[in-house]
Amino acid sequence: MQTNFLTIPDLLTNSFNKFSGNDFLGFSDESPKTYAEVQSEMRSVIAFLENLGVKPGDKVAILSNNMPNWGITYFAIVSMGAIAVPILPDFSSEEIQNILIHSESKSIFCAELFRTKIEDIETPFLTSKIRINDFTAIDIPENISFKLNLKSDNVYSVDPEDTAIIIYTSGTTGKSKGVMLSHKNLSSNGKSCGILQPIVPEDRFLSFLPLSHAYENTLGLILPMINGASVYYLRKLPTPAILIPAMQEVKPTIMLSVPLIIEKIYKNKILPTFNAKKLTKFMYKIPPTRKLLNSLAGRKLLETFGGKIRFFGIGGAKLDPVVEKFLIEAKFPYAIGYGLTETSPLVAGVNPQTVRHGSTGPIIEGLEMKLNDINPKTGEGEIWVKGPSIMKGYYKEPQLTAEVLTEDGWFKTGDLATLDKDNFVYIKGRSKNVIVGSSGENIYPEEIESIINNFHFVTESLVVEQKGKLVALVHFNSEELEKKYHNLKGEIDGKIEELSNDLKAYINSKVNKFSNIKIIRVQKNPFEKTPTQKIKRYKYNSDK
């Protein structure tokens, strides 16, 4: 066994030995399986995979919502030297089939919830389909079945450089790519996350972001596993009606989220409370009283989350600066992180004691970072990263890999940033999203969008360039408008037109001249998003 624990089987063996009686994986409304129980079931799944003909190096897909059996299946696959191919549940049947063909997956474990997506799928490689909820057959060879009392005694040799997982990113740039992450990539990143924010066996994670995404997979499954903590899952989609009772039941100490969730809570629950009365609305505009009101709101927010949160991680997209200021004044234990699937994922981060407004924190231990091609006027450059958690490459895509990985191991993130004197990272935006103004100025649409999104009745927005003009695509909160104007369509349409004019004046009063918005276009339907709730920009960037 590797003494430096650079494979997932090494990490698992260590945790099974140290924390055998500890709670590990469970649903929010039940007692979790212990580490010893997970180990036993994992060995049974390995025996099942062996009987299905899966060998080291074979790919096994997982299409499922979060559940204890997701982790058990994943750990079984990678422990026998096979490669896990997690598929995002919101992919269509056609996308799933493409991934199964491209990855040459031999088996797929599918949740009952998504069974109809795969029932008619056939590929030259797929030989079995298994229901992950209880490991029963959807379509497998006769005389093979899962038996809980059947254990594999085979000892597999897994190398740190072996591929553990291929994650197909939906991304925001179109075609999905299969990111190959090795055992060393995942193990080193999980351990570095534990240095940034120490985890103890008593910690309880409430996991609701997709485990098929690198963010939740490393920080929400591998990180707690390394440290003997427990992880709880929801039985249904994380709507407020499901999430709030679960938080009261589990009383989580650690949660991982995307900005959209905390932004919605602030804009839909907290801010309307302050604006409901003229007195509190006026008081909220005065900094000392605003801080006091935010502090009181923070205590209530903490209770809503179960009262025990000590780390609320936010990543996957940029956090609204106004919402971040609220979290600071509310003394809510949030922390920001920055990373990509290709970096396993965390690159930079803070814990709640070291947050700085607008920053994702310094680079994590074990990685090197530099800003490439720095603009001498602004100090902005593209983040390049090097170290043990950088991907092996894109599966079957050597040309795409060569475009982002230099010969000496630097990964070009495509993100533009500045550094302060303490090397805290301040993300400016994606280099691909930068709009060049008529006089050569760099315009960052994300910065304008954060202004737009703080305008009343705005849910989300996207700033694009169309025929040389800056255009804001804006999705208004029709539900709130209908509530205020009593469903009177004529009034609502007129109000949206009025709001659009007010919004344009509001934006242009807060940005420099070359970032002025020329046109507001109402986006009637919500924007299409990635699993981390980033808008799929490429779908809206056509020059109309």
Alpha carbons 80 and 47: distance in angstroms, whole number: 10
Among 382, 413, 430, which residue terminates a domain? Answer: 430
Q: Is residue 99 part of a domain?
A: yes
Alpha carbons 63 and 49: distance in angstroms, whole number: 16
The pTM assigned to this predicted structure is 0.88
Whether 235 has a pLDDT exceeding 50, the answer reads yes
Across 524-531, average pLDDT: 86
Q: Is residue 212 part of a domain?
A: no
Q: Is residue 122 part of a domain?
A: yes
**300-324 CB burial, b ≥16 within 10 A, e <16:** ebbebbbeebebbbbbbbbbbeebb
Q: Are residue 425 and residue 439 in the same domain, yes or no? A: no
Angle, to 10 degrees, between the axis of helix 287-304 and the axis of helix 321-329?
80
Q: What is the pLDDT of residue 473?
A: 96
Q: What is the pLDDT of residue 171?
A: 40
Q: Which tokens sit at 197?
A: 């924010």
Alpha carbons 393 and 342: distance in angstroms, whole number: 8
Quote the number of domains for the chain. Answer: 3
Burial of residue 228 (CB within 10 Å: 0-12, 13-18, 19+) is buried
Higher pLDDT, 331 or 170: 331
Are 464 and 445 a contacting pair, CB within 8 Å?
yes
| CA 69 to chain centroid | 20
Q: Are residue 472 and residue 533 in the same domain, yes or no? A: yes
* Sign of the dihedral through C-alpha 501, 503, 506, 509: negative
Alpha carbons 212 and 88: distance in angstroms, whole number: 6
Q: Are residue 412 and residue 457 in the same domain, yes or no? A: no
For residue 393, the cross-strand partners are 180
Q: Are residue 442 and residue 426 in the same domain, yes or no? A: no
Q: What is the pLDDT of residue 542?
A: 64
Q: What is the pLDDT of residue 280?
A: 93
Q: What is the pLDDT of residue 439?
A: 65
Q: What is the pLDDT of residue 489?
A: 64
Q: What is the pLDDT of residue 541?
A: 79
Q: DSSP label at 535?
A: B
**Which region, left, alpha or beta, applies to residue 292 given φ > 0 means left and ψ of -120 to 50 means alpha?**
alpha
Q: What CATH number has the domain bearing residue 462?
A: 3.30.300.30
**Phi, psi values for residue 154, rounded to 5°:** -70, 140
Among 163, 182, 201, which residue terminates a domain? Answer: 182
Q: Are residue 163 and residue 15 in the same domain, yes or no? A: yes
List, for residues 265-275, the tens digit of each pLDDT value: 998 899 999 98
Q: What is the pLDDT of residue 435?
A: 87
Closest by CA position to 64, among listed 124, 117, 141: 117
List, for residues 480-497, the tens digit of each pLDDT value: 887 777 766 667 778 888
For residue 81, the cross-strand partners are none
Q: Are residue 246 and residue 384 in the same domain, yes or no? A: yes
**Phi, psi values for residue 340, rounded to 5°:** -140, 160
Across 70-87, average pLDDT: 98
Alpha carbons 6 and 27: distance in angstroms, whole number: 29
* Most confident region among 236-250, 339-353, 424-438 by mean pLDDT: 339-353
Across 384-397, average pLDDT: 97
Across 197-213, average pLDDT: 97
Q: Is residue 524 part of a domain?
A: yes
State what percent of residues in the chain have pLDDT above 70.
96
Q: Are residue 264 and residue 395 in the same domain, yes or no? A: yes
Range of the domain at 350: 233-430
Helices (H), 131-252: 183-196, 214-217, 223-226, 240-250
Bond prior to 86 in cis (omega within 30° of 0): no
| CB neighbours of residue 145 within 10 Å | 12
Q: Are residue 78 and residue 19 in the same domain, yes or no? A: yes
Bond prior to 345 in cis (omega within 30° of 0): yes
Alpha carbons 220 and 254: distance in angstroms, whole number: 9
pLDDT band of 260, cuts 50, 70, 90: confident
Indicate the range of 121-125, 173-177, 423-427 predicted with least confidence.
173-177
Q: Are residue 424 and residue 340 in the same domain, yes or no? A: yes
Whether 408 has a pLDDT exceeding 90, the answer reads yes
Higher pLDDT, 297 or 446: 297
**Phi, psi values for residue 421, rounded to 5°:** -65, -25
Alpha carbons 364 and 473: distance in angstroms, whole number: 36
Largest CA distance in the chain: 73
Q: Are residue 451 and residue 368 in the same domain, yes or no? A: no
Whether 50 has a pLDDT exceeding 80, the answer reads yes
Q: What is the pLDDT of residue 432?
A: 85
Q: Is residue 56 part of a domain?
A: yes
List, for residues 121-152, the tens digit of each pLDDT value: 999 999 999 999 999 999 999 899 999 999 99
Whether 543 has a pLDDT exceeding 60, the answer reads no
Across 51-56, average pLDDT: 98
Among 430, 465, 490, which residue terminates a domain? Answer: 430
Q: Where are the beta strands (DSSP E) in 234-284?
A: 254-257
* Sign of the dihedral through C-alpha 93, 95, 99, 101: positive
| pLDDT mean across residues, the chain | 93
List, for residues 349-386, the tens digit of each pLDDT value: 999 999 999 999 999 999 999 999 999 998 999 999 99
Q: What CATH number has the domain bearing residue 131?
A: 3.40.50.12780
Q: Is residue 3 part of a domain?
A: no
> How distant, in Å, are the alpha carbons of 104, 343, 388 from that of 392?
18, 10, 10
Whether 173 has a pLDDT exceeding 60, the answer reads no
Q: Which tokens sit at 181?
A: 């992450």
Q: Is residue 166 part of a domain?
A: yes
Q: Are residue 301 and residue 412 in the same domain, yes or no? A: yes
**Phi, psi values for residue 71, rounded to 5°:** -65, -40
| CA 483 to chain centroid | 32
Q: Is residue 215 part of a domain?
A: no
Alpha carbons 427 and 431: distance in angstroms, whole number: 11
| DSSP-derived pairing of the beta strands 83-87 and 59-63 | parallel
Q: Are residue 400 and residue 265 in the same domain, yes or no? A: yes
Burial of residue 200 (CB within 10 Å: 0-12, 13-18, 19+) is exposed
